Amino acid sequence: MFKEVIVVEGRDDTRRLKEVYPEVETIETNGSAINQEVLDRIKILQEQRGVIVFTDPDFPGNKIRQAVMQYVPDCKHAHLQKGDAIAKNGRGLGVEHASDEAIKEALTNLITPKNTVVEEIESQFLFDFGLIGHSNSAKVRERLSQVLGIGYVNGKQLQKRLMMFGITKQQVVDALTEEHLEMLK
């Protein structure tokens, strides 16, 4: 079981996590309307027990994740892939729609930001490997984020997220196998 408290967006996420882990404790941000009071509680919980941020793989979920990371930078992070978070009817995206297996995998493969930048990753490096500035860069970024477990990011967020999690250029290159490099052609 988790000693940490899991940050989720709302009560549907809490309900879904409790179906998989009945003893789990969560703190809800009430969607992207996260306020200072919630951030203060997250900070206290991080100091006392630790926190895992587990938000939806969409723009509002990423906005919440960013707000928490800015205020409480040493939280652990769990990421769902978009394909694992789509409702069966195709009309929703979020933690509450993920399978037991996808939730367990996300909460097993936690990633924690590094306090110091391990290696500077320049925009030119990202361009050279097709991660920004190419017609299929979004597809390459999506695959890279899956392999590295960092959650989907747009081109502007990628550089910051890679450095924040201490991912090196070599790790990026290793994650971009021949199959992924073929997408650049």
Domains belonging to the chain, first-starting first, are 5-108 (3.40.1360.10), 123-182 (no CATH)
Q: How confident is the model over 74-120, as pLDDT tens digits?
A: 899 999 988 888 888 878 889 999 999 999 999 998 988 876 666 88
Please tell me the pTM assigned to this model. 0.76
Burial class (CB in 10 A: 0-12, 13-18, 19+), 135: exposed
Q: How confident is the model over 122-178, as pLDDT tens digits?
A: 999 999 999 999 999 998 888 888 888 888 788 888 988 888 888 889 989 988 875
- Most distant CA atoms of the chain, gap in Å: 50
